A and B are shown apart, each in its own frame.
Chain A
């Protein structure tokens, strides 16, 4: 789990959750960059070309579903894998995230080892 130094973009507007998850990912060896809203997330993707995106769905300015579908329509960003992070736990919510263009889906509270396994599987 260590030393892979892959670049992960964490998009999360809740300060506590952003702080917690970025620190844990950093401890796991990822290089973490963060964004607080959907528009900033797309900017970061373009500017820093992360290896993967962890995307909260309830975001200000542009929500996660919009970010995912816009990223998948942009040829420069389409190849970046996106994992949806959301407190919506229903199967319909999972389908909604996947059909918006997310590659995988993780429900809050986050099972951290499982999330790392998903990231490694995608990369």
Chain B
């Protein structure tokens, strides 16, 4: 329905004004039609009265003319038969009568003159000559010499006929006018009735359209509010179907829903973050539990076995005992380093790991670490190559404990995965960066393994820890320490071709951080 679409595009206020205006206009048309009808009715009444008056006057005049003629005829006969003169009073009365007739004739001329002019003029011509003849008769009555021909029947009949014609004409015109007016009245009555019914109908239609258009808008708002209420915040009320206040309201609703969605998204994302942090914590605990159990299994198992064996009869196998005790000690140390790593990682993750900066010689520290770890080099028949220019390297301002751990972890890592190969430790330093490269000719890693190797508790393979030992925490700690000291670590590796870890640390991390 076009009307509905049109009204839906108007604001609610405009709709109300428009509809009120339309209804008032209809009422005004109705009232003016009714007034026009009333006016026509009045006109009709006036015309009717004129007709009645004219008819009355005509009939009076006819009687008066006939009476006057009768009198003239009687007096004329008397004059011829007797010589008795006419009394002055009688003469005056007769002349007054004639005057009176003339006055009434003139009055007849004033009633309903339109369309009767010709008839009236002819009547006046014949009556004027008739009455002037009569008047002359009265004036010359006492003059016995005068001969007066008063029996002018032609004149009289002519006057009467003219009077009748005028009367008929007036009646005809009155009927015509009356008919026209009746038609007007009938028309205005019909218009009034039709107008009234139309007004009612149009008012009803407008009201229904207004209600439906407004109701449709409100329904859309309600649907929107319900959808929002049920949690469907992606729903949008179609604003282009609305206008004015309703569109504002729809827009406000949509706006509100959008903001609500954003707020909910934020809360959900915060919850997801919290959940994933929680899941990570649980995973961390499960991993910690797993890692602690492996060395504990050896410690408890060997200890219980030694306890059993010490109760056996016969000599104790001292070499076997020494070996088993060594195994217990090795596992205990592994457990300790594991606990230390876990504590470090936990401190890093909770942001409690402190960096204590001091001036020291990195070259000396690197030599020291390599020296301390030399037994590891020999374990798998490897060879160590050092490429450190001791003289060219000065002091740096950093955390020596952390640097020591970085190099230890990388070094022992290389030793672990290399057999009959070469471990190379190279270090250079300029005025900004210390670069330490630990490379090996060991088993290497695939690209996929390289992408995971810095994650906590992850080793290149799940079986790596079993085969090569280690906690899966070393490289994660190295990466964290590097970033804490303002530097970074890079890994190049190829399966079967060895690995190359390159660490870059700023000589003065404070200035490096300031530049970052």
Contacts and interface: CB of A to CB of B under 8 A. Distances in A.
A and B form one complex? yes
Given A20-B302, A58-B463, A110 B297 contact: yes
B296 A109 contact: yes
Chain B binding surface SS class: helix
Contact of A16 (B286, B293, B298, B304): B298
Contact of A108 (B286, B294, B308): B294
A13 B463 contact: yes
A109 B297 contact: yes
A82 B494 CA distance: 38
B301 interface: yes
A99 B467 CA distance: 26
B89 interface: no
B421 to A, nearest CB: 21
Interface string A9-47: 000011011011101100100000000000000000000
Chain A binding surface SS class: loop
B301 A24 contact: yes
B467 A13 contact: yes
**Chain A: interface residue count, which band?**
20 to 34
Interface in B464-487: 465-467
Nearest to A85: B297
B290 interface: yes
A60 B308 CA distance: 32
Interface in B311-338: 327, 330-331
Contact of B293 (A20, A23, A24, A107): A107
Contact of A20 (B286, B298, B462, B467): B298
A76 interface: no
Contacts of B330: 16
Given A16-B331, A60-B466, A87-B294, A27 B289 contact: no
Most buried by B among A59, A87, A107: A87
B305 A27 contact: yes
A90 interface: yes
B465 to A, nearest CB: 8
B466 A87 contact: no
A87 B290 contact: yes
Given A21-B301, A89-B290, A108 B296 contact: yes
Nearest to B465: A58
A17 B301 contact: yes
A24 B466 CA distance: 21
A21 B462 CA distance: 22
A112 B301 contact: yes
B207 to A, nearest CB: 69
Contact of B467 (A60, A87, A110): A60
Most buried by A among B290, B297, B298, B463: B297
6 contacts: A16-B302, A16-B330, A17-B298, A20-B301, A90-B289, A110-B301
Interface of B: 286, 289-291, 293-294, 296-302, 304-305, 308-309, 327, 330-331, 461-463, 465-467
Given A27-B305, A109-B297, 10 more contacts: A17-B294, A17-B301, A20-B301, A27-B308, A27-B309, A63-B463, A88-B286, A88-B290, A109-B301, A112-B301
